[in-house]
Structure 1
Amino acid sequence: MEYTYLGKSGLKVSKLCLGTMNFGPETDEKESFRIMDAALDAGVNFFDTANVYGGQGNRGRTEEIIGRWFAQGGGRREKVVLATKVYGDMENPADGPNQPRGLSAYKIRRHLEESLRRLNTDHIELYQMHHVDRNVSWDELWEAFQVQVNQGKIGYVGSSNFAGRDLVKAQYEAKARHKLGLVSEQHKYSLLCRLPELEVLPAAEEHGIGVIAWSPLDGGLLGGNALKTSGGARSTRSQERVEANRDKLERFAGLCREIGESEANVALAWTLMHPAMTAPIIGPRTLEQFQNTLRAVDIKLSEETMKRLDAIFPGPGGDAPQAYAW
């Protein structure tokens, strides 16, 4: 496994991040444990989750599975750089009018305590805002996070689904308080979703924010099986997306055959080529799927291959404003 710094922090994390969203809804606890054990054995030390993972009516179930895995001991907790998130509706009536999605000092304190309990730990390395909330001031947010940092409950603060302007604003407000600010931004990014190249990735790179790519296989469309699956095995919407992108996916599959690598691993390796990238999130449902992704960090795509990928999956045309101005 290869490692890199998490943004401008001094913390080193694996260049693949284990996503756990499937743990509970799609993957039972026994298989989830096997995947997490295999991740540590392979040198993957970066685990990502969220308080809302578990599915409707079961918010928090994924954190509970990870907490029971930690409870087995054997240095599991000590070896993991743990990331979770706050913002979502936890379906807890005790939250009252603060139950809907959003951020506040109130929610950060309450939901962090609940995540720590479910995860069976007293600290979280990376605490991420799952979404931007422009109804709350940065005065409130940075003060709330600093309280938790001072108490040793979180190490670093990250964001997810922020626009470029939100990243810049967060860092400006943190600098005014002589604080570190954001060290990471978790953002949707893949060969089929290159819009972040316009503003988000340049902003992150300039401000020392490491990017963590979620859905790097675009919901499985780039995973290699989309063209093989038909009929009732996929939802109508998924089938429509396959048909809309069939030409691109077929050309992509042909390129991958030429270079002798799987579609999934080429898609993951491509995200790692961007200088702002810390790690793509892999979200395996099975141990076999996890093991098949480990090859991605060893793949170094040639300049010619990158050009061919650009031709198949065109980006927005460069950084802003050059992409849309003279």
Structure 2
Amino acid sequence: MSANSSESSIGIDCVCIQIDAGRAHEPLLNTITLYNDNNKRYLVISNANKPGVFNVSVVLPTIIRKDNRKPLSLLDNIKFELVLDTVKGDLRRYLGLDDDSLLVVKKAEINSNIAVKKGVPIESIMELLSLANLRVSDAETLALQVRGVPLTKGNVVKRRAINSIKTKSSVKSNRFGSKLYDKSRELGIEGKQIFRLELCYNARGVKTALSKKKVLLKDLLTPNTIQLFINTYVDDTANYIFNPLSDYLNDLTDLIVESLCKGKGIYQTFLLWKEYIPDYAIFRKCVRRYYKRNGYTANSADTEASRTKKHAIDDGIIVNQGAISVLQCLSSRIKEQKKISTQC
């Protein structure tokens, strides 16, 4: 799971800008989409619902890189001016506008990545996060799982292959939504797995993070401003992603140990709970706690847990392991970025 500092840095991906050029400004005949030299989209200009108002979507990293595998981070600070000048030049060319005060940021996507080693399916990470934070309705729309709801079949994600999890801002917070997904699959990267944790801040979220009533693009593209966004992202991922995950794992462990104490047997208990265990490390921990409670050693517990795992695999059950350690590693790296940002 190793990754260099640039791969694990927190940064900005896409921003949405709204420009009010005045009712007299002519609308666009067609939506304008611009691509970089690697044929990756970096800017889209379209008419808004009001006369003279335009929506501009900018994928900031693809202005300076071949794609947006890595977000625009503090490590790119010497290129912030280039990014701003590129956007301003395109708007001057296609809209005839050259006024920084018109480039109002309405949305911003902040993310971080982690490289995942082979043998740990990203789908298992998605499934674990789904169980901890979300449930899937019949329409396959995601909503926040209410804390304290009993673990029932109705609350479990039944599909093993989950490509991405998206929530709207109203689900998690009135400031942001989230998108958790396999970035390597999106970019068509072979031989490497990249998991991305992205928070999509709306207008309220942008203004709250930066303590401003109006945020301009030129204000956003400064080291100090991105540091503020990093701090907000660190706190929000802890409160809305990692803390609920920790709560889920603690509750699940207690429930499984309680089930083991009822004497149905190790393997039968695993079968009862396997839909809630996308990482076998969960069940191994439960067996250890159960064995300790009954006076047995950790080595004995591990031997029994390994025997149970082999039994399950022999029965054709998919048994994954590693999702928890990946998320723990990502959580630690994100927390470290807040320390870095406050020291810069």
TM-score by length of 2: 0.24
**Higher Rg of the two aligned structures:** 2
- Please report the TM-score for the alignment, with normalisation by the length of structure 1: 0.25
